[in-house]
Structure 1
Amino acid sequence: MARDPKNPPDLDAAYALETPDDNLRLYGDWADSYDHSFAQAMDYQLPTHVARTFAELGGDGPVLDVGAGTGLLGEALRPLCDLDIDALDLSGEMLAVANSKGIYRKLIEADLTKSLPLAPASYGGVVSSGTFTHGHVGPDAIDGLLDAAKPGALFVLSVNAEHFEARGFADKFEALAPQIEDYHIKTVQIYGAGAEGDHAGSQGHLAVFRKHSHP
């Protein structure tokens, strides 16, 4: 059966991910066609929303792009901020595509659900587009990202709006209140006017905050 470019079956598969192994299989197969079959076909706007929000709030570097995939967020951020950006993703195949774009200082192949190979207090900004969604990465992964951030580091993390409360993100940010400041939510459309299909109207919450400046 021919694939419908306006509603690729891979999107439903991505939303059904439950384990790191599921993630590796799906994105390993999808890496080479992801930008065309998904991002272009669905008019994927979330990386642009994250990048613009980070830039408008004066985010500093170096920046960690969490769940960087093929580098769509890095591509959106590069013209707005002249900062070093590192890409972190579980999929080596996706990172290889990102690397080919010449955006990133460093590639980090790692599982967000496990201990991360990141030096403490090493990043001035942390951004993420499309990683905290229906899949295996839950809100507890934010703890390791906070450890890797400098005091005052700006975070802009997208979370699928439908699952923000159901998957525990709202409770997590409430629990993190002593460690973060300037926390607020910005709601955006994940896809643009060119999107069609069941997911075309989906929204994302951008969780925007800074790591507390004082211990």
Structure 2
Amino acid sequence: MSGSSHLGIDDPVCPARGRINDIIASRGEDTERAYDAWAQYFDEDMITLGYGGYDVMGKNVIKFVTNKNAKILDVGCGTGLFGEKLRSLGYMNIFGVDASDSFLEKSREKGVYLELEEHRFGNGLKLPYSDNSFDVIMAVSILGPNTINPTALYELDGLLSPGGYLMIFIRRSRLDMERENFNVKAVLDDLLTSGRWERLPDSSGLYYTQPNGVPVAEGDEAVEGDGVVVTMKKLLKH
């Protein structure tokens, strides 16, 4: 990527922050290449930055999903870290989908998903699953202006069985964003207007903690700390 040193790994302060900031700044094909290159550093970077999404979402799953045999789809499964978290909580019926070959390969190495599929949202291709396939659909930190648009939630709508849950973990700044080409609230409101969904109370969760010894500048998305869990329940009847 132009203007960066291999996804920021030579950043003298914190390479992980450099990679995150390069991902945020990337566009189009550069974003795809950036994610593929990031796969080898991703697990370590999440530890370095103190990423809290997997723990927060794990607690949310336990709160609502008592059936440990529930069929779960991890959208944007990445390297499989959340799949590992779900397995540790006793959920075994887990499927994953991601757009990056490199991330999917890391997920395969962990061996926590029953099946893994490649899919790029927003390109008109149908997801490789039939309608009403899943009891729970998880989207952990995947929605972003330069990554996956919230309109992808429309693609996921048909995959969820009535009575099931759609759970989203997102930066608060992105949940509050109301751009013409990126507006999560508008999509959620549209789903609710259909009469087929109920939005349960949101909860707050830690997104990133401050890396030890690294000062955090206001507005630095690489270490943004405020996350939100949005839980939508698909109604049995409407």
The two structures have a TM-score, normalised by structure 1, of 0.90
Residue equivalent to 1:94: 103
Deviations 1:184-214 (A, max 9, x none): 3222120135464433343222111111212
Deviations 1:75-105 (A, max 9, x none): 1111113231111100011010011011100
**Percent identity, aligned pairs only?**
21
Q: Tell me, which stretches of 5 or more residues in structure 1 are unaligned?
A: none
Q: Does 1:189 align with 2:188?
A: no
Q: Structure 2: how far apart are the matches of 1:68 and 1:209?
A: 19
One-letter code aligned to 2:185: A
- For 2:230, which of 189, 195, 207 is the aligned residue? 207
- For 2:141, which of 97, 120, 130 is the aligned residue? 130
Residue equivalent to 2:118: 109
One-letter code aligned to 2:159: A
Q: Does 1:43 align with 2:50?
A: yes
| Contact 1:6–1:42 (CA under 8 A) maintained in structure 2 | no
Q: CA deviation at 1:133?
A: 2.7
| Contact 1:6–1:41 (CA under 8 A) maintained in structure 2 | no
* Higher strand proportion (structure 1 or 2): 1
- 1:1-215 matches, cutoff 5 A: 2-3=10-11, 4-5=13-14, 7-19=16-28, 21-36=29-44, 38-58=45-65, 60=67, 61-114=70-123, 115-166=126-177, 167-177=182-192, 178-192=195-209, 194=211, 196=214, 197=216, 198=220, 199-215=222-238
Q: Structure 2: how far apart are the matches of 1:189 and 1:137?
A: 21
Residues 163/145 of structure 1: CA separation in 2 closer, same or farther (3 Å cut): same
Between stretches 167-176 and 91-100, larger displacement belongs to 167-176
Q: Structure 1: how far apart are the matches of 2:120 and 2:196?
A: 23
Q: Structure 2: how far apart are the matches of 1:11 and 1:174?
A: 30
One-letter code aligned to 1:203: D
User: What is the DSSP-based 3-state SS (H/G/I as helix, E as strand, rest coil) of the residue aligned with 2:155?
Assistant: helix
Between stretches 102-111 and 194-203, larger displacement belongs to 194-203
Q: Structure 2: how far apart are the matches of 1:202 and 1:193?
A: 8
| Contact 1:165–1:171 (CA under 8 A) maintained in structure 2 | no
Q: Structure 1: how far apart are the matches of 2:229 and 2:154?
A: 17
| Contact 2:171–2:224 (CA under 8 A) maintained in structure 1 | no
Residues 146/81 of structure 1: CA separation in 2 closer, same or farther (3 Å cut): farther
Q: Detail structure 1 runs of 4+ shifted over 6 Å in the superposition.
A: none
Between stretches 200-209 and 170-179, larger displacement belongs to 200-209
RMSD of Structure 2 on Structure 1 (CA) = 2.0
Number of residue pairs aligned between Structure 1 and Structure 2: 213
Q: Structure 2: how far apart are the matches of 1:33 and 1:7?
A: 8
Between stretches 195-204 and 142-151, larger displacement belongs to 195-204
